Chains A and B, each alone.
Chain A
């Protein structure tokens, strides 16, 4: 009880509350700008947290994460341009309502659904993560190896439209993680005589390059994007909370979608976009009697928004317990966690329990703060969403440079960021997702350590030793299942394309 009170008291200190507020406001602004994502926001903010204590840093970043997902709904509703991919489904019914002059209603439902989704996922995080972390105690070297392979294979198959490209990206990420001094022998691997490479390739500069600079370069292709203009002042009556009738009409959808979002969030790699589309399709199935569905139904908005925010807490559950992030943004959060000296697993809930629970409670409060701030800022979000790309390009570029330099006041980090920026841009142009590569870079050392220990401990064939434990069997089965189902889905899609082409 004393611990609980201490955690709540710590979460409510003025500094932590101000970090929550800062994270929420920055997240809302980044989420509302079409093209800028939660990944980019967390990657850019990460260097700024280095001077902070781990609790404040993680509260800031997790607040930013959840509010950036919610922020995407503003441009989806106001401009029919989703600020983040997670809000794409919101644009369908949200913009239809805006056109009917009911944008305040759309924002109100979106805010309420996002808050409920976020709160549900925060409660799920607090309830599921501690017992799940016990599982990590049963893991040996081989299990950690298979766990890392499972994380990369799932994110590789889900994060991009092409399974093989996703897996290639993940494998290249793991290979990149081997650059630098070998921890056992001290032998420099793939450093080509460059002293700076001996410490390995910096994760944070690589992430800033892959997510932020590559986005700025992509926006350079169309620096004068035109967005539909809608007058947000004529959007109906402003209310903080939905009316009783609106609540009654959407409550089942919100709860169902929140549960879907939490479950999808827990799956490695399946982020807000998959969560929101799945919940939207489910809501459509359950709304056969709603003639407005798809044409301006608040159920559509509620489904998409509650699910995408519910994925945020869900994605943090495997991150804290097993070190496997549930979404690309959570992968960057994992990097932040490690950089602040915390290792995922059981110790987070025992030795560092105060840190973990304060961050989780902070995340819960941040979802409430997000609702109030979002409703207060909604009239101005249209202006934010319409900021010219030219300004965003220079802002993201300058912040990427400064952010990567500030990590260690080292120009090498900036060159790393620039190199990964152009690699990220070319990857996006050629249909390769950066998310599996990032996860590969994070999980690579874990996979290598597990692999090497398993090889050293093996008394006979290495592969047999690596699948000797039932947990290993389960993980291998899950890997086969995830890759197999993705391959089957792609083959079915190809056959369908063939049939369509023949017709």
Chain B
């Protein structure tokens, strides 16, 4: 966690410095409060980075999930697949895109019980259609807009 805290701390300091520069053109009252916040963020970031050099002080606040960075491969692949499905939904329709997403997640998540998964996905999409499209009138596209 030491190197993570250092990277995050330095990144926040750089980010705040860049935003401070951007806010130069703003009217005085419009930039005052954000700048106060940037100073506070930089102050805490310096403390966070500084703490990593103290023995045992960096022990608190460990992250959730697996500690090995390799465990992040699946979540990142799932996130990319979801983003692509979202982009595709404009062309192939929302429900078809979600069905494709469910299919793409099968190899990513290593799903074994395909029949149960397919059944649950269909039930989920039908429920989403019933609640959001029929009851709440959300304009989710059922089929590709070109059809």
CB <8 Å contact, A402 and B75: no
Alpha-carbon distance between A281 and B62 when the two chains are bound, in angstroms: 24
Our pick among B56, B83, B132 for the contact of A498 (Cβ within 8 Å) is B56
Chain B residue numbers with a CB within 8 Å of A448 are 33
Residue pair B86, A401 in contact (C-beta under 8 Å)? yes
> A220–B61 contact, CB under 8 A?
no
- Contact code string B52-71 (vs A, CB < 8 Å = 1, else 0): 00111101111111100001
Residue of B34, B72, B136 touching A48 (CB-CB under 8 A): B136
CB of A178 within 8 A of CB of B86, answer: no
The CA-CA distance from A455 to B1 in the complex, in Å, is 40
Interface residues of A, count at CB 8 A: 68
Answer whether A221 and B19 are a contact pair too, CB < 8 Å, given A390-B109, A397-B101, A425-B75: no
Hey, what's the 0/1 contact readout for B98-137 against A, CB within 8 Å counting as 1? 1001100100111111001100110011001001100010
> A465: which B residues are within 8 A, CB to CB?
none
Within 8 A of B (CB), among A358-394: 388, 390-391, 393-394
The answer to whether A494 touches B41, judged by C-beta atoms less than 8 angstroms apart, is no
- A406 to B137 alpha-carbon distance, docked (Å): 9
Interface residue from A165, A175, A430 paired with B38 (Cβ < 8 Å): A175
Write out the residue numbers on chain A whose beta carbons fall within 8 Å of the beta carbon of B146.
Answer: none
CB-based contact B140/A402 at 8 Å: yes
Q: Determine if A431 is an interface residue (Cβ-Cβ < 8 Å).
A: yes
Chain B CB within 8 A of A226 CB = no
What chain A residues lie within 8 Å of B124 (beta carbons)? 394-395, 398
User: B143 at the A/B interface (Cβ < 8 Å)?
Assistant: no
Cα A467 to Cα B82 in complex, Å, equals 49
Instruction: Tell me whether B138 and A405 are in contact (CB under 8 A).
Output: yes
B147: CB under 8 A from chain A?
no
A167 on the B face (CB < 8 A) = yes
Size category, B interface: 35 or more
- Contact of B72 with A429 in the complex, beta carbons under 8 Å: yes
Which residue of B40, B64, B139 is within 8 Å of A409 (Cβ)? B139
- Point out the residues of chain B lying under 8 angstroms from A493, CB to CB: 59-60
A126 lies within 8 A of chain B by Cβ:
no
Q: Are A431 and B34 in contact (CB under 8 A)?
A: no
Please tell me which one of the listed residues A165, A172, A184, A401 contacts residue B29 in the complex, with CB atoms under 8 A apart. Answer: A184
Query: Which residues of chain B have C-beta atoms less than 8 A from A447's C-beta?
Result: 33
Interchain CA distance A343-B140 in the complex, whole Å = 32
Q: Sample 19 A-B pairs with CB under 8 A, ordered by A number.
A: A160-B61, A184-B30, A187-B26, A189-B30, A190-B34, A220-B108, A220-B109, A221-B65, A395-B124, A398-B128, A414-B86, A428-B63, A430-B1, A431-B60, A451-B32, A494-B56, A494-B60, A498-B56, A501-B55
6 further A-B contacts with Cβ under 8 Å, apart from A431-B61, A455-B32, are A167-B44, A175-B19, A221-B74, A398-B124, A411-B90, A431-B60
